Amino acid sequence: MEIFGDPAFWTGLGQIILINIVLSGDNAVVIALAARSLPPQQQKQAILWGSGAAVVMRILLTIVAVELLRLPVLKIVGGLLLLWIAVQLMLPEEEGGGHGKATVGFWAAMRTILIADLVMSLDNVIAVAAAAKGSLTLLVLGLGISIPLVIFGSTLLLKVMERYPVIITIGAALLGWVAGEMFVTDPLVKGWVDAAAAALHWAGPAAGAALVVMTGTLLARQTLARRVAPVELTPVAGPAAVPAAAPGRRLFNRILLPVDASDQAARAVEYAVALWRNHPAPDTMDIHLMNVQREVSGDVARFVPKESLQEYHRERSEKALERPRRLLDAAGVKYRLHMMVGKPWEAISDYAAQNRFDLVLMGTRGLGTYTGAALGSVAQGVAQRSTVPVLLVK
């Protein structure tokens, strides 16, 4: 077909896939949490059938949106809404209280998946409808590829976006670009734009992308400055009690060791072990091992009980801490353990300052977040924010 030889078709297809990847992370988390309490076989069925029904529902809703966007003024209204969605994408996520009802049984999980996808998909529907530019083939193909990709590859995609948070900034800029295209192609102004200057067809989208990135970055910084303290999932614990630090302690007696499952974090743990072995009084060292889990959005909390969210974060923290704990236990190092939920660089720097640590020791990779592309990596964020000395290990 000639349509598949059109570069504009493949550009639009790429836009739709990227839009769904960056906007559907919360949907994927809800699907995973809704099905997690079911037996393994039912988990697969709930995800398969719930996701399939969600794909059909999303396609139908987006077809309606495509038709509506043909009307005058509605593209301008949709563009304004899309700009707001794009800016919100770059802001630190607020975690709700987790007041959703507990999911019990296969059909309850299916219902949760469908309702959550319906309520949480407004941003996807508007953005994809605009990117499709009226092409039903492009719309169905783009959604058919991207939604299963997000759902079945949600764990991998979330890790990739945490490892390379610039994807989120690129996605927000893309939404701004699409919003700008909506402004200059609305039937109300299209004739004037065509007559005025061809450059407006590029200037409008470029201005939309720039506006989103600059506004999102500024608001994200302001939001982070007002954030409250993170939540600790468990009481401080460890394999053995740590002796109180001696009066007049030496530098680096109290070490905060933030980690994840990365190789860089393991090397930081190994460096901490080396400090402990070379310390003149290792029993006086007070080492705190910490993992900070990124918050889920308030949208997810609307559909998932607080207890399920806490268990979800706890399981992820425990998995991330397995390797660092093995290294410390094998060396015989005593430590305290913290599993927290919040913004990683904020939780780390604030905890270090409030508890008067001598040193924050961490890997250079950090504990990536969605806003990291605009605000710098977690390691850089801790180094810039912390009032306690920070040592980064490659």
Phi, psi angles (nearest 5°) of residue 277: -65, -30
Contacts of residue 388, defined as CB under 8 A and 6 or more positions apart, other chains included, come to: 256, 349, 352, 353, 357, 358, 359, 360
Name the token pair of 369.
């977040």
- Domain 231-393 belongs in CATH node 3.30.530.20: no
Average pLDDT on 41-60 reads: 76
**52-66, 113-127, 182-196, 206-220: range with lowest mean pLDDT:** 113-127
CB contact at 8 A, 242 and 287: yes
pLDDT at residue 335 above 70?
Answer: yes
Distance between CA atoms of residues 134 and 375, nearest Å: 36
Distance between CA atoms of residues 238 and 185, nearest Å: 61
Name the token pair of 78.
């949709």
Amino acid at 111: R
Q: What is the mean pLDDT of the chain?
A: 76
pLDDT digits (tens, 9 = 90+) for 1-38: 456 667 777 888 888 888 777 776 666 677 777 776 67
CB atoms within 10 A of CB 76: 18
Give the distance, in angstroms, between the CA of residue 148 and the centroid of all CA atoms in the same chain.
19
Average pLDDT on 336-345 reads: 88
Q: What is the per-residue pLDDT for 361? A: 94
Q: What is the per-residue pLDDT for 371? A: 34
Q: What is the per-residue pLDDT for 385? A: 85
Distance between CA atoms of residues 275 and 330, nearest Å: 15
Q: What is the 3-state secondary structure (H, E, C) of 245-305?
A: CCCCCCCCCEEEEECCCCHHHHHHHHHHHHHHHCCCCHHHCEEEEEEEECCCCHHHHCCCE
The residues that bridge with 293 in the sheet, in sequence order, are 341
pLDDT at residue 249 above 50?
Answer: no
The DSSP result for 303-353, as a single string, is TSBHHHHHHHHHHHHHHHHHHHHHHHHHHT---EEEEEES-HHHHHHHHHH
pLDDT at residue 92 above 80?
Answer: no
The residue ranges of every structural domain in the chain are 2-225, 231-393
Distance between CA atoms of residues 108 and 36, nearest Å: 12
pLDDT digits (tens, 9 = 90+) for 255-303: 999 998 888 899 999 999 999 998 888 888 999 999 998 877 656 666 6
pLDDT at residue 209 above 60?
Answer: yes
Amino acid at 361: L
